[in-house]
Each structure stands twice: as C-alpha cells, then as structure tokens.
Amino acid sequence: QLGDFEHFMLKEINEQPLALENAFRGRLNMSEGTCKFGGLNLSRKNIRQIDRILIVACGTAWHSGLVGEYLIEKYSRIPVEVEYASEFRYRNAPMDKNTLVIVISQSGETIDTLEAQREAQRKGYHVIGIINNVGSTIARENDGGIYQHSGPEIGVASTKAFTSQLLILSMLSVYLGRTRDLSYADGCQMVEAIRTLPKLVEQTLELGEEIQSIAKAYAKNKDFLFLGRLEMFPIALEGALKLKEISYIHAEGYPAAEMKHGPIALISEDCPSIVIVPDDETLKKNLSSVQEVRARKGKVIIITDSYDIPAHLADEIITVPKSHNCVRPILMTIPLQLLSYYIAVELGRDVDKPRNLAKSVTVE
Ligand code: M6R
C-alpha cells in the first residue's frame, strides 16, 4: 500500500527509521557493549579462528559489502575482501582455510549470489547470509545468517534494504570485534550510536524539501560524478547507481583522490560533482578535491556532517546530523537517495519500475 506517498521508493526511503530499528531490535547488549545474533551457528572459538572474511554480493548489496570491509577491518581487525558474486562463482580464486564467507542479498533469490554461495559451500566454507526476504532460497540454503527485517521492498531501486545491510554490518563488526579485541568502551559507544540512529535518520529525512529544490536545478545535467574517500567511496558508488537506475543519467562514483588520475577530464560546467565530506580526518583532503573541481568550473554539491564548511566552497551544501563513524555512511546515503528520487520525478521517469530492470535478477 502506498498510503500518502507517490511512489514506493519514497515510501521506503521514509520507512528507514523503522527498518533500522527492526534490524537492531533484540540484538543490542548494552551492558556488555556488544551485539548478539541468534543464527550465525558459529561458536566464539570459531570466531577467534577466522583469518579472513570474503563478502559476496551483487549491485547495491555489493556496495554494502564494500562499506562492511571498512567497518569489519577497522573494528574487528579481520582482513576482508569483497567480490561480485558473478565473478566469484567462475573465478576459482584460492581461499584461506579459515575464511568466513558472507553473502548479502535483499531478495535472497539473486541467482549469481545463490550460485556463489553454493560454490563456497561445495568447497567446505561456512557461509552466512545477510538477507531481507525470510525463507528465500539463499536463506534456506546457507549455514547461518542474519535477517534484516526491513519489510518488503517494492521499488526496484534498493533503499531501506541497503541502509539496513549497512547497520547489520556495523553490528557484526562490533560483535566480531568484541569477540576478538575491540574494547568494552569502544563497543559501548558503537552500540549507543546504533541505538540512537533512527532519530538521526528522521532528522535527515527532513531535508527532503531542500533536496527536492536542488534536484530541480540539476535534473537537466547529463553526467554526474560522485566522490568520497574510505567508507564514503562505496556510498559514492551507491549514489551513482541510484541516479543511473531511476533517472537514466550517466553517473560515476570514484574515490575522491582518484579523480586526478583520469575522471578530472570529464569536469566542466555541465558535469556536477557530488562530494561526500565527513567531519573526520579526511575533511581537508576532501575540500581540496572540491577546489580542484571548482577550479575547472564544475558545480559542486557537498554532503557533509561538518558545520564549518565555508559556503563559498560549494554550490550547494547538504548537512546531515553528526554521528559515530560506524553509522555515518547510513546518514550520508539518505540525501543521495532523495536526490536521485527527486531528479527522476522531475524527469518524469517510472521511478518504481525503471526500464530494463527487475527487482530480483534470477537470470545469469
Ligand atoms: O536482491 P539482491 O540484494 O541480491 O539484489 C542485488 C542487486 O540486483 C540489486 O541490489 C540491484 O543492484 C538494485 N536494483 C539496486 O538498487
């Protein structure tokens, strides 16, 4: 049911506070500064023996895996690799004995992800899933997992399922970290950041009108660049994918510092850059990327949680609430979802059923 919303995508964007709460309900252990999961089927001893994690997924779920790589490596200190499921299943890459495989899929029916899971299981690896669709084929066949409980996602462009995957990966990084060497104090801070996230998401959603007017001003552009560093790089990729999928505008995501190795040639008055600028140790570097774009007459939209960015540095500044690093990618995603949604609406696109795309890809 659409209720008051014009499209399922907008409804699902607005459902994110609840979807996130559903993802952490019953899974936070405040007193021990950790998270708990019922169905991983891994003992603490098993977890201490993991030498490597391989995350396998497609599309938006692959982007959440890339953010997961940063989170798990940072908080659990376990090396992580992320592969497209379609590549993994045919590549026969050598793997370490003590590798944990994580598959991520909203639908739980994506054929490439399912076959990648079967391939990993055939070789004896323990595969856990982060899945939204309860009882789906991937969920039924894996060795353990975490359900997202985001509720049905109807819009072809994934929104609430993506941010819920990010939250679960953040919780998983706390759990793995606390089973290895994340401190009690750090664990407590992260758990508190997760618990209070839905309120911050609600505040971020209030940016809707501001973003709608920015979307109107930029909808005529034919190319966009999305830039971010570290865990904001996959968020840039996701922003570009959202825009491509529903508005059919060409968009590319890049790590901000890679711009000078090629994509900078694209920059002109007609190719705006959307730069994600978190208030952290990358801030100055990101602002120098912004200046490189501006020096070439490129328009810049900054998405930030810093209150100190001089207004003259960008054409538009969208400010989200401040948050802990472990949940910040979620807050940075929401303006990108709204921007692509309103641009697609402005262009009269079929937002919920974009051309050539299906909600779940069950062909190879
Ligand atoms: O159901 P899955 O998460 O396995 O789907 C994977 C991709 O097909 C999916 O994320 C696709 O990229 C979406 N249309 C993104 O919005």
Distance 110 CA to ligand 1 centre (A): 8
**CA dist., res. 359 & res. 110, Å (int):** 10
Nearest CA to ligand 1 atom 8: 59
**What pLDDT, on a 0 to 100 scale, did the predictor assign at position 122?**
95
Pairing of strands 28-29, 34-35: antiparallel
Work out which ligand 1 atom sits closest to the CA atom of 159. 16
**CA dist., res. 20 & res. 110, Å (int):** 23
Nearest CA to ligand 1 atom 7: 59
Nearest CA to ligand 1 atom 9: 59
| Ligand 1 pocket, residues with Cβ under 6 angstroms | 58-61, 105-107, 110, 113, 156-158, 245, 357, 360-361
Complex confidence, ipTM: 0.98
**CA dist., res. 206 & res. 334, Å (int):** 10
Distance 303 CA to ligand 1 centre (A): 24
Q: How long, in residues, is the chain?
A: 364
**CA dist., res. 132 & res. 138, Å (int):** 10
Work out which ligand 1 atom sits closest to the CA atom of 242. 16
**What pLDDT, on a 0 to 100 scale, did the predictor assign at position 360?**
81
Reported as a single tens digit per residue, the pLDDT across 209-244 is 999 999 999 999 999 999 999 999 999 999 999 999
**CA dist., res. 191 & res. 287, Å (int):** 31
**What pLDDT, on a 0 to 100 scale, did the predictor assign at position 277?**
98
Please name which of 132, 153, 165, 145 lies closest in space to residue 235, comparing C-alpha atoms. Answer: 165
Q: Is 45 a catalytic residue?
A: no
Give the percent of the chain with pLDDT over 70. 100
Distance 60 CA to ligand 1 centre (A): 5
Q: Among 158, 241, 355, 361, say which to mutate for ligand 1: greatest number of ligand atoms within 8 Å of CB.
A: 158
**CA dist., res. 51 & res. 181, Å (int):** 14
**159 close to 153: Cβ distance less than 8 angstroms:** yes
Residues of the chain short of pLDDT 50, as ranges, are none
**117 close to 127: Cβ distance less than 8 angstroms:** yes
**What pLDDT, on a 0 to 100 scale, did the predictor assign at position 263?**
87
- For residue 253, give the 3-state DSSP assignment: strand
Q: Checking phi first, is residue 74 left (phi over 0); if not, alpha (psi -120 to 50) or beta?
A: alpha
**What pLDDT, on a 0 to 100 scale, did the predictor assign at position 193?**
98
